[in-house]
Amino acid sequence: MKYPTFVAASLLAAVSLAGPASAASLQAQMTTCLTKHANTNQAATVTLECTADAGKLTGCKVVQSQVPSPGFEKAAICVAEVLPMAGKTGPVRVPVRFPGA
């Protein structure tokens, strides 16, 4: 399957592009999602496939995960709700890394 856009950025890259106010919002969302769905002390990597449109991601699903529990997959989808996508449109793959404590 081919993707017109492959977003090869971790959350840190998204934060650096988003600006200080959005970066704080993104960090707060990441903390909220992790606390709600997963163990914040564990590391995990989840790759999502989403549709980008109007600067937002929709219809995200997990296509690859290296996680100690399924809660990280839910946390990644939760974080994707606030990831800035600027002018991207169409299907994208988004890697989300949780560094753990």
Sketch the domain layout of the chain as residue ranges.
Answer: 11-98
pLDDT score for 69: 82
pLDDT score for 22: 67
Q: Is the pLDDT at 26 greater than 60, yes or no?
A: yes
Hey, what CATH class is 11-98 in? alpha beta
The alpha carbon dihedral of 63, 97, 58, 6 has a sign of negative
Q: Is 61 helix (H, G, I), strand (E, B) or coil?
A: strand
The reported pTM is 0.74
**pLDDT tens profile 49-99:** 999 998 899 999 999 998 888 899 999 999 998 888 888 899 999 999 988
Which residues have CB under 8 Å from 70's CB, separation 6+? Answer: none
Q: Is 92 helix (H, G, I), strand (E, B) or coil?
A: strand
